[in-house]
Amino acid sequence: MTIQIALADDEVLARQKLRLLLRDQTDCEVVGECATAGETIELVRAARPDLVFLDIRMPDMNGFDVIDALSAQAELPMPRIVFTSAYDQYAVRAFEVHAVDYLLKPFAAGRLSTTLQRFREQSNGCHPGERGEPNGERHTTRIVFKSKGRIVFLPVSEIRWVAAEENYVRISTGDETHLLRETMAHLQDRLDPQLFLRVHRSSIVNLQHVKEVRMDTEGETAVILVNGQKVSMSRGYRSKLQRLLRQ
Amino acid sequence: MHPVIFIGASVLVGILFAMQEWLNARRWGYKIGLGFVSEMWGMQFLLWGIICWLLWRFLRPFIINARPSALLTRVLPLSIALSIMEEMIWVLFFPRVPIDRPPMDYWHRFTFQLNAEFVDSIAIFWCAFLFFRVVAYYQQFREKETTAARLQVQLVQARLSALRMQLNPHFLFNAMNSISSLMRSDVDAADLMLEQLSSLLRITLERGEVQLIPLRKEVEFIEIYLAMQQQRYAGRVEQTLSVEPGLHDALVPALILQPIVENAYVHGLSKCTGRGNLAIDIRRDGKRVRMSVVNSGIGLQLGLEEPGHRGVGLTNVRDRLRLHYGDRGSLSVREVGTGRVNVTIALPFQNNARGTDEAARFDT
């Protein structure tokens, strides 16, 4: 299924960059471009895109006004939104209106690929938090934070493991780590226990990334992740993990 | 204050008291010479002027910092002792006082004088003491204001030089040249490098007027800088960065590490042809935070001969440490092993108790 995309930005070069980058994505089709908020609303009504890349500061209204106007029209299916902006101060608001992502300009091609991959996962419903489990509501599916000059909307499924560092937690994803001001207890509370397991006072692992549990010659147990990362484990958690892995 | 001015002012006060006594005496019909009264009062205030000036000269820190308990246990006895001493000296100068009495011996006169003047002397001492405290507080207040103003200037300079780092030919144009080169060979890498350059500029511009920032923010900045340099040096430099977990919230002056890491590249790593390495290690050492940057390269001598701006960057770091921490902050630069340079900053450990502004948010 192709993803029908609309581009909304008052700068023609900004739209061109997106159009060129999206050309490399086989499953994406740009169905229209617009330079003002008014045009965007018209375009969404006419073309019914799945996804809109929306600039926040536009000449007539801002991106959030566009969303308000669109959601006021009940008959219209609401497209998913990716915000693009040179400013980072709207990130939390974007997160609250369930935007797919928030791209700070300028962004690299890799960053855009990540955004599209997240959109695909969310629309295929293979996103772990959206499987409609009974107590799924309590558990978070995404976290938003600032890291290294960027805005990150991180789906929890991408977390491999979490390590405590005093008042902070270090979240490891595939290729990088992020430092968040959080407690292990609070984070554990927000994560789905079917997917995340506390294996040590100072570590939580994502079970989907666990390869095996290994015991070394000194009798110390460690969890080995798919990427080879070794996370040490307390004895008390071992039986629990083995039970979960057998499921 | 110059001692002559101080003691002169004190004598002037004495003369004013003398005039008052002389006027009173005349009003009550006593006959007493103005010169004589002035001599007596003048001498008393001259002595006190000298005593107070000596106190101010030699005991200033104690006067400023004395706790209330010390006022009772140390200053009160001091005031009594000094008052007695002052009277003893004064009596020496005026053998005819008290007047209109048969001649007395020294001790007799002394006890008479002490009886009449002791309370006054104590009062003079405490007035002077109080005056000193107020003046000292005022001076300290002014000093703090001046220091704050100087820190502000230094921070602005640091921000400007960080901006200059990004905008100077060395950094900006070389980064752009790298991007330009990558545009032909590896478009994604060029894209990524532009993203990183923007992140550095964004963080520098957004940081605002804050002087001290949590260490993790400084480290975050360094991480982006390192990632960029890693691309420019195409993996030729092995970088390690380790931060003791308990220090994420430790307060450090903004942009204190960046000039040092920049120096490591500009004066060290860029000069060596083979593989190089850069190790940044931040750990707690008792009550201090120790940040060390070790790089391979061509050592200190050669690196310094070059008319570069190493001196300026490090001078700025040193100045800011001194302004923030006085003697408790330090910067050391030394050569370790062949061609390796170790730059270490040490500063007092201060935890940012307020926690931070931006926590992560979860959806539900």
The pLDDT, as a whole number, for residue A15 is 95
CB burial class (10 A; 0-12, 13-18, 19+) of residue B184? exposed
Regarding pTM above 0.90, the answer is no
Residue B210 has pLDDT above 80, yes or no: no
Which pLDDT does position B158 carry in this prediction?
Answer: 72
Query: Considering just the CA atoms, what is the radius of gyration of chain A in Å?
Result: 21
Nearest-CB residue to B363 (from A142, A148, A179): A142
**A68 CB contacts (<8 Å, ≥6 apart)?**
none
Q: Cα–Cα distances in Å, from A13 out to A20, A106, A114, B182, B224?
A: 10, 12, 22, 20, 26
Report the pLDDT value the prediction gives residue A159, as an integer from 0 to 100.
95
User: From the CB of residue B77, how many other CB atoms can be counted at a distance below 10 Å?
Assistant: 10
A49: Cβ–Cβ under 8 A, 6 or more apart, which residues?
A: A4, A5, A6, A31, A32, A43, A79
Q: How far is CA B140 from the centre of its chain?
A: 11
Report pLDDT for A131.
Answer: 40
The predicted model gives A171-180 an average pLDDT of 90
**Residue pointed to by tokens 């390269």:** B297
- The percent of residues above 70 in pLDDT, for chain B, comes to 90
pLDDT at A26 over 90: yes
Distance CA A81, CA B143 (A): 55
Question: CA B359 from chain center: how many Å?
Answer: 33
Amino acid identity of residue B286, one-letter, is G
In this predicted model, what pLDDT tens digit does every residue of B47-91 receive, in sequence order? Answer: 888 888 888 888 878 877 788 888 888 888 888 898 888 888 888
Could you give the C-alpha distances from A34 to A9, A15, A102, A164, in angstroms and in order?
Answer: 6, 9, 19, 46
Which domains, from first to last, does chain A contain? 3-124 (3.40.50.2300), 130-246 (2.40.50.1020)
CB contact under 8 A, A109 and B187: yes
Nearest CA in chain A to B201: A149
Q: How far apart are CA B210 and CA B207, in angstroms?
A: 7
Spatial distance between the Cα atoms of B280 and B264, rounded to a whole number of angstroms: 11
Q: Where are the alpha helices (DSSP H) in chain B?
A: 3-27, 34-65, 68-70, 76-93, 106-167, 174-185, 187-206, 215-232, 258-263, 299-305, 310-325
Beta bridge partners of B241: B280
Q: What is the Cα–Cα distance from B290 to A29, expressed in whole angstroms? A: 54
Across the A:B interface, residue pairs with CB atoms under 8 Å apart total: 88
Residue of A nearest to B214 (CA): A181
Q: Cα B39–B43–B44 angle (5° rounding)?
A: 120
Instruction: Work out the percent of chain B whose per-residue pLDDT is above 90.
Output: 18
pLDDT, tens only, A201-237:
899 999 999 988 888 777 788 889 998 888 888 877 8
pLDDT of residue A151: 92
Beta-carbon separation of A146 and B358 below 8 A? yes
Query: ∠ at Cα B37 (B32, B40), nearest 5°?
Result: 140
Across the range B310-328, mean pLDDT stands at 79
A107–chain B Cβ distance below 8 A for any pair: yes
Which chain B residues are Cβ-neighbours of A115 within 8 angstroms? none
pLDDT 10s digits, A77-123: 899 999 999 988 899 999 999 999 999 999 988 899 999 999 998 88
Q: Does pLDDT of A127 surpass 50?
A: no
CB contact under 8 A, A148 and B199: yes
Q: Is A153 on the interface with B (CB under 8 A)?
A: no
Q: pLDDT at position A168, please?
A: 92
Residue B353, pLDDT score: 65
Task: Return the pLDDT at A132.
Answer: 42
How far is residue B329's CA from residue B311's CA, in Å, rounded to a whole number? 18
Model confidence band, residue B354 (pLDDT cutoffs 50, 70, 90): low
pLDDT value of residue B358: 67
CB contact under 8 A, A149 and B188: no
Q: What number of other Cβ atoms are within 10 A of residue B204's Cβ?
A: 19
Tell whether the model's pLDDT for residue A65 goes beyond 60.
yes
| pLDDT value, residue B288 | 95
pLDDT at A38 over 80: yes
Q: What is the pLDDT of residue A133?
A: 45
| Rounded CA separation B228/B232 (Å) | 6
Work out the angle between the directed axes of helices B174-185 and B187-206 (0-180°, nearest 10).
Answer: 150
Angstroms from B263 CA to nearest CA on chain A:
22
Shortest distance, CA A112 to any CA of chain B (angstroms): 11
Q: Grade residue A244 by pLDDT with cuts at 50, 70 and 90.
A: confident
Chain B residues within 8 Å of chain A (Cβ atoms): 187-188, 191-192, 194-196, 198-200, 202-203, 206, 216, 220, 223-224, 245-246, 248-249, 355-356, 358-364
Q: Are A84 and A36 in contact (CB under 8 A)?
A: no
DSSP string, chain A: -PEEEEEE-S-HHHHHHHHHHHHT-TTEEEEEEESSHHHHHHHHHHH--SEEEEESB-SSSBHHHHHHHHHT-TTSPPPEEEEEES--TTHHHHHHTT-SEEEESS--HHHHHHHHHHHHHHHHT--GGGS--TTGGGS-SEEEEEETTEEEEEEGGG--EEEEETTEEEEE-SS-EEEE---HHHHHHHS-TTTEEEEETTEEEEGGGEEEEEE-TTS-EEEEETTS-EEEE-GGGHHHHHHHHH-
Kindly state whether A118 is in contact with chain B, defined as any CB-CB distance less than 8 angstroms: no
List C-alpha distances in Å: A206 to A88, B181, B232.
Answer: 29, 40, 35
Q: What is the mean pLDDT of chain A?
A: 88
Query: Could you read off the pLDDT of B151-189 as tens digits, one per residue?
Result: 888 777 776 666 555 444 556 677 788 888 888 888 888
Q: Using an 8 Å CB-CB cutoff, list chain B residues near A111.
A: 195
Task: Report the gap between the CA of A198 and the closest CA in chain B (Å).
Answer: 19
- Mutate which: A105, A168, A189, vs B, most B CBs within 10 A: A168
pLDDT at A161 over 90: yes
Q: Do A149 and B224 touch (CB under 8 A)?
A: yes
**Whether pLDDT at B337 is above 50:** yes
C-beta separation of B343 from B263 below 8 A: yes
- The Cα–Cα gap between B190 and B183 comes to 5
Q: Which of A141, A148, A166 sits opposite B363 (nearest CB)?
A: A141
Q: Which residue carries 């006067």 as its tokens?
A: B63
Q: Mean pLDDT over residues B235-249, rounded?
A: 92
Identify which of A142, A149, A179 has the shortest CB distance to residue B216.
Answer: A179
Q: What percent of chain A has pLDDT over 70?
A: 94
Give the tokens for residue B26. 């005349």
What is the average per-residue pLDDT within B143-152? 86
Q: In this structure, how many other beta carbons lie within 10 angstroms of the beta carbon of residue B315?
A: 13
pLDDT (tens digit, 9 = 90+) per residue, B288-308?
Answer: 999 999 999 888 765 554 445
Give the confidence band of A125 by pLDDT, cuts at 50, 70, 90. low
The pLDDT of residue B290 = 97
- Confidence tier at B209 by pLDDT (50, 70, 90): low
* pLDDT, chain B, mean: 84
Q: Hey, how many other C-beta atoms are within 10 angstroms of the C-beta on A127?
A: 17
User: Can you read off the two tokens belonging to residue A107?
Assistant: 């962004």
Residue A97: per-residue pLDDT: 92
User: Mean pLDDT throughout B94-104?
Assistant: 76
Please indicate whether residue B127 or residue B160 has the higher confidence score (pLDDT). B127
Residue A135 pLDDT greater than 50, yes or no: no
pLDDT of residue A167 exceeding 90: no
Shortest distance between the Cα of A165 and any Cα of chain B, in A, equals 5
Domains of chain B (ranges; CATH) run 3-144 (no CATH), 207-348 (3.30.565.10)
